[in-house]
Amino acid sequence: MAVINTDIVFAKKLLEEGQLVAVPTETVYGLAANALNEKAVGLIFSVKNRPSYDPLIIHLYDHSQIENFCQNIPPIFYDLYNAFCPGPISFLLEKSASIPDQITAGSTKVAIRFPKNTLFRKLLKKLDFPVAAPSANPFGYISPTKAQHVEDQLGAKIELILDGGSSKIGLESTIIDLTTDPIKLLRLGAISKEDISEVINIGLEINKHSSSKPDAPGMLSSHYSPRKKLSTKSIDSLLHSYSKDQIACIRYKQLTKLIADDNQLILTPSGDINEAAFHFFDYLRVADQMPISIIHIEAIPTEGIGAAINDKIQRAIA
């Protein structure tokens, strides 16, 4: 069992000793280590059971030290930083020699993010090293949006979970590669293509990969998966193969009459796409723990963060 509290002094001590600490962010909880400590970073990979070819995002308090870690930073970085940071966006930039190859899985690019959660920011401000942090879930499983989610799965392997409440956004950061021409959107998140296009009026390509050799290896097609089967097929068609009580439904805003109310989770009764994102991973976990055989997910609108939710659903099904 890990301790769950808000003790950033203890968190700092653990990180300085080369240990891991689970940290709250506005997107999902992260599993943090000193990015410059090879042993500590090695622990991230072993605790998560994560393959070493999957690179890690570096978390910083603000841009004041960015030139220690990146080089040839394009001016659009500062435009996007001023518009969205601290916030749910990660930038791929050319790395400098100070970033270990272990962090980038050998790539010459490093992902940098400036998270918004107040407690995590207080901790980052106290540290004199950058923090590497992937989502704090076992590799391939649903990302955690509450301290208890981390405790349920990794509590036996870490000492401290900093409790910053529920992650306000609930889906991982948008990842954008600023080293390519045109620049590329690698992972959809809370900051949409439209949001970015409002700030910079240059070409922007969406590059969502699902091949075996993606630019962002963690974006493998099979990801974010519950243990139970997940389906977007119609409930009617599922009822040919399953009984009513074998099906759990994650609904957008309304109950269906086809399944008992107790087996249904409503993402957003008021029809707010951001609220749907906030509940999405949590409800996927809740459904996964029900005594059912298959989880049905209703179609989600694709506006704003809805594009990112739909992307997660496709990867979870793959």
- Chain residues in the site for ligand TXA (CB under 6 A): 25, 27-28, 30, 54-57, 90, 92, 104, 107, 109-111, 113, 115, 133-135, 172-173, 175, 215-219
User: In whole angstroms, what is the distance from residue 300 CA to residue 298 CA?
Assistant: 6
Backbone phi, then psi, for 214, in 5-degree steps? -75, 160
Say how far residue 52 (Cα) sits from the centre of its chain: 18
CB-nearer residue toward ligand TXA: 221 or 232:
221
Find the shortest distance in angstroms from Cβ 119 to ligand TXA: 13
- Which of the choices ligand TXA, Mg ion, none does residue 37 contact, using the CB cut-off of 5 to 8 A by kind? none
Q: One symbol per residue from 118 to 147: x for binding Mg ion (CB under 5 A), - otherwise; what is it?
A: -----------------x------------
- Which of the choices ligand TXA, Mg ion, none does residue 104 contact, using the CB cut-off of 5 to 8 A by kind? ligand TXA
- Which of the choices ligand TXA, Mg ion, none does residue 155 contact, using the CB cut-off of 5 to 8 A by kind? none
CB-nearer residue toward ligand TXA: 67 or 261:
67
CB-nearer residue toward ligand TXA: 143 or 263:
143
Find the shortest distance in angstroms from Cβ 35 to ligand TXA: 11
Question: Counting every residue, how long is the chain?
Answer: 318
- Which of the choices ligand TXA, Mg ion, none does residue 30 contact, using the CB cut-off of 5 to 8 A by kind? ligand TXA
CB-nearer residue toward ligand TXA: 87 or 155:
87
CA quadruple 141, 146, 152, 154: dihedral positive or negative? positive
The residue with its CB nearest to ligand TXA is: 218
Encode 156-178: b = buried (16+ Cβ within 10 Å), e = exposed: eebbbbbbbebbbbbbbbbbbbb
Find residue 266's DSSP bridge partners.
251
Contacts 24+ apart (CB under 8 A), 80-83: 80/176, 80/178, 80/196, 80/199, 80/200, 81/114, 83/199
User: In whole angstroms, what is the distance from residue 109 CA to residue 96 CA?
Assistant: 9
- Which of the choices ligand TXA, Mg ion, none does residue 94 contact, using the CB cut-off of 5 to 8 A by kind? none
CB-nearer residue toward ligand TXA: 219 or 287:
219
Position 167 contacts Mg ion (CB under 5 A): no
3-state helix, strand, coil in the chain (%, to 5): 35, 20, 45
Backbone phi, then psi, for 55, in 5-degree steps? -70, 165
Helix (H, G, I), strand (E, B) or coil at 176: strand
Kindly list the residues in this chain that would bind Mg ion in the complex (CB under 5 A).
135
